[in-house]
Amino acid sequence: MEEFYKRKLPHIQPKGATLFVTFRLAGSLPHAVIEQLKATREAEMQAATTDEARYLAERRYFGRFDQQLHQAIGPHYLKQPALAQLVANSLHYRNKRVYRLDIFTIMSNHVHVMFAPLQKGVNPDGTPQYHKLSKILQSLKRYTAFECNQLLGRQGAFWQAESYDHVVRDTAEWQRIVRYILNNPVKSGLVSEWQQWPYTYYAYS
């Protein structure tokens, strides 16, 4: 059985799946922008008549969402090296404990990461039981929010509650997402080669 959970969007975690996740700073995008992005996505999803069309609509939604993040004028706390490194350390800490970490990059107001939750036991029916994405993100975001707020001398929400997550369908898509993540700081003009960005990790480089 797949894990299903819901905030504003439904999330499904197939057992043993690799997941592409993006989470962002609280207030990084205006509410009106988010609502417009979701309305456009919903309209495209309703117009789609095949699984492939729905998949492409979801890709377009994420592309517009990420583009808005790169243009955002909201908080950019992760420009501070100490905070970016704290988040990087936390992502690494969970590697081989609750997931297999493939890749991440930390931008000034958001994080892209791809990982595969690890098996943590066996269900009564003998099927494997995996660490839940919802629990992984809750732990990661709670710890880093507290520590980053301490460094900033502030209180209040640090991460936006809602995260974007996507089940990686196959090897070709995994490779496409790797290229996308590696190219994020390059696309933003921060570096000319992905290897130059100190807050990118790729397990297979």
Fold of 13-27+76-202: Alpha-Beta Plaits (3.30.70)
Q: What is the DSSP string of 125-162?
A: TS-EEE--HHHHHHHHHHHHHHHHHHHHT--S--B-S-
User: 103-118 pLDDT, tens per residue?
Assistant: 999 999 999 999 999 9
Domain boundaries, the chain: 13-27+76-202, 29-71
Show pLDDT as tens, one digit a residue, over the chain (205 residues). 344 333 344 455 777 899 999 999 999 988 888 889 889 989 999 998 998 998 898 888 888 888 888 887 889 999 999 999 999 999 999 999 999 999 999 999 999 999 999 999 998 988 899 999 999 999 999 999 999 999 999 999 999 998 999 999 999 999 999 999 999 999 999 999 999 999 999 999 8
